Amino acid sequence: MAAKANLRLLISVLAFTMLIALAHGSPYVFKIHIFQNCMPVIKKDPPHKAPSTKCINTVTKSNILSICSVLNEDDEKRISVARLVELGRRFGQTFPAGARCGTTYIIPELHETPPPATPHPSTSMSSL
């Protein structure tokens, strides 16, 4: 009788632990939240909108790289994977160049925007 009670307790604790793990770190949960809160930004067809505060908060709390591993062809019909990666990069997520995101998209190298050109001192207006 005690063994049966211990087994039930063990199963309950295991199930509870799995639910907590899924709620906090599952790529599927991240995907659902990103799709719910950022669809106007990542959808395939225009018009596209700037990310809302809710979208930004979702991105910063999600692991978009892990979402890449669970994207399927149906998802890719709805969203632009390139925009998803760009959104993640915009808010601090890192993606290894050459890695796959979804079924076919290969993550490109991140090209830093060059700083604005500053005039050379010898070509300033005061010297003319």
Q: Is residue 98 part of a domain?
A: yes
Residue showing tokens 């692991």:
63
Q: How many helices (H) and strands (E) does the chain have?
A: 6, 2
Taking the C-alpha atoms of residue 84 and residue 68, their distance in angstroms, rounded to an integer, is 9
87 within a domain of the structure (yes/no): yes
Residue 17 inside a domain? The answer is no
Residue 19 in any domain: the answer is: no
Contacts of 67 (CB under 8 A, 6+ apart): 27, 30, 31, 34, 84
Instruction: Specify the number of domains making up the chain.
Output: 1
Asked if residue 124 belongs to a domain, the reply is: no
Query: Per-residue confidence of the chain (128 residues) as pLDDT tens digits?
Result: 677 766 676 566 555 555 554 555 799 999 999 999 999 999 999 899 999 999 999 999 999 999 999 999 999 999 999 999 999 999 999 999 999 999 999 999 987 664 555 554 554 444 44
pTM over 0.95: no
Host domain of residue 58: 25-107
Whether the Cβ atoms of residue 38 and residue 30 lie closer than 8 Å to each other: no
